């Protein structure tokens, strides 16, 4: 029997985003969410969901566009600006032309590992902020091997 999944991405973006996702789930609209594990409010959001919404599916929202990477910025220099932050939307297209595939693999792997460290389990699925991990050829090349290595996590298009 087909099942409708309503996913709310950006968990961890702000306290308001976290609260909105929780309320939308508790009111029966949202059935899953994806988390931006590199952002300041991710840990609190995940803890709150695990306590107050134990049946919600929780996936990873691969983030290569906001905040600092999970990896040390020195290890992923092609992904970050001079301040060690991911490139903002205004510079993203230009910056993405210079992304290094190994660095993308490292950062996506680090985000999966951070998710597991925060939750104690694998994400239920993967998606990507602004779809960058599925639109950029090198990021798309890096992501499927990681999903296979971690148990064939569902991704868009699968």
pLDDT digits (tens, 9 = 90+) for 57-114: 999 999 999 999 999 999 999 999 999 999 988 888 888 889 998 999 899 999 999 9
Report the C-alpha gap between 96 and 103 in whole angstroms: 12
Report the C-alpha gap between 122 and 45 in whole angstroms: 16
Residue at token pair 């840990």: 43
pLDDT digits (tens, 9 = 90+) for 142-153: 666 666 556 655
Residue 59: CB atoms within 10 Å: 22
């Amino acid at each position: 029997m087909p099942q409708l999944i309503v996913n709310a991405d950006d968990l961890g973006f702000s306290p308001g985003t976290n609260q909105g996702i929780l309320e939308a789930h508790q009111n029966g609209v949202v059935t899953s969410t994806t988390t931006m594990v590199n952002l300041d409010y991710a840990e609190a959001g995940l803890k709150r969901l695990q306590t107050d919404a134990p049946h919600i599916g929780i996936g990873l929202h691969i983030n290569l566009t906001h905040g600092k990477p999970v990896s040390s910025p020195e290890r992923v220099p092609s992904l970050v600006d001079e301040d060690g932050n991911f490139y903002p939307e205004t510079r993203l297209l230009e910056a993405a032309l210079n992304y290094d595939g190994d660095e993308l693999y490292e950062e996506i792997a680090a985000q999966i590992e951070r998710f597991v460290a925060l939750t104690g389990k694998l994400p239920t699925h993967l998606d990507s902020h602004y779809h960058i991990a599925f639109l950029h050829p090198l990021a798309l090349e890096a992501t499927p091997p990681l999903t296979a290595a971690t148990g064939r996590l569902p991704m868009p298009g699968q």
